[in-house]
Amino acid sequence: MKRFTVVMVAALLLAGTVYAKDYEVTKKAGDLTVEVKIDRNPPATGTNNMDIAIKDASSKAITDATVAVEYGMPAMPGMPAMNYKADAELKGNTYKAVMNLSMGGSWYINVKVTRADKTQTMKFTVDVK
Ligand SMILES: [Cu+2]
């Protein structure tokens, strides 16, 4: 009985941890690695806060870039395409941006990193609940 309780508590704690975890995507943008975390998992309609870490080939944090997030939805039957842009702000070693996702469905997200007049883009899509 005691062992069963311990296992159950461990399982609940683990489930809680998984539930609270950020939505994470890591991908390359040219020679940079871009790690995106979204505080809603899965991303949901409304406000979604993004934390963007950018690293060079030697895993050093990049903090001298201009970062913008372009996001939206292609045209759907009865609905024109939606395209939005959010500028990301450096706070500490990572960049913060806020997306407002107006409806559920598949959204594209492009993280544009500009350094020394060169822009590199990391792209992914999310299924918004
Ligand atoms: Cu739509």
Task: Provide the pLDDT for residue 56.
Answer: 96
Ligand 1 centre distance from Cα of residue 106 (Å): 8
Q: Residue 120 CB: number of other CB atoms within 10 A?
A: 17
Average pLDDT over residues 44-67: 97
Ligand 1 centre distance from Cα of residue 103 (Å): 7
Residue 11 scores a pLDDT above 90: no
Ligand 1 centre distance from Cα of residue 85 (Å): 16
- Give CB contacts under 8 A, 24+ apart, made by 28-35: 28/122, 29/54, 29/111, 29/113, 29/120, 29/121, 29/122, 30/118, 30/120, 31/56, 31/57, 31/120, 32/56, 32/62, 32/113, 32/120, 32/122, 33/59, 34/111, 34/113, 34/122
Q: Per residue in 76-96, pLDDT tens? A: 899 999 999 999 999 999 999
Mean pLDDT computed over every residue of the chain:
91
In three-state secondary structure terms, 8 is helix
Edge to edge, the sheet with strand 94-101 lists 23-29, 32-38, 46-55, 94-101, 89-91
Ligand 1 centre distance from Cα of residue 66 (Å): 28
Ligand 1 centre distance from Cα of residue 35 (Å): 26
pTM of the model: 0.83
What span, in angstroms and rounded, lies between the C-alpha atoms of 62 and 65?
A: 7
Ligand 1 centre distance from Cα of residue 91 (Å): 32
Place of tokens 């998984």: 18
Residue 7 scores a pLDDT above 80: no
pLDDT band for position 68 (cuts 50, 70, 90): very high
Q: Residue 45 has what DSSP assignment?
A: S
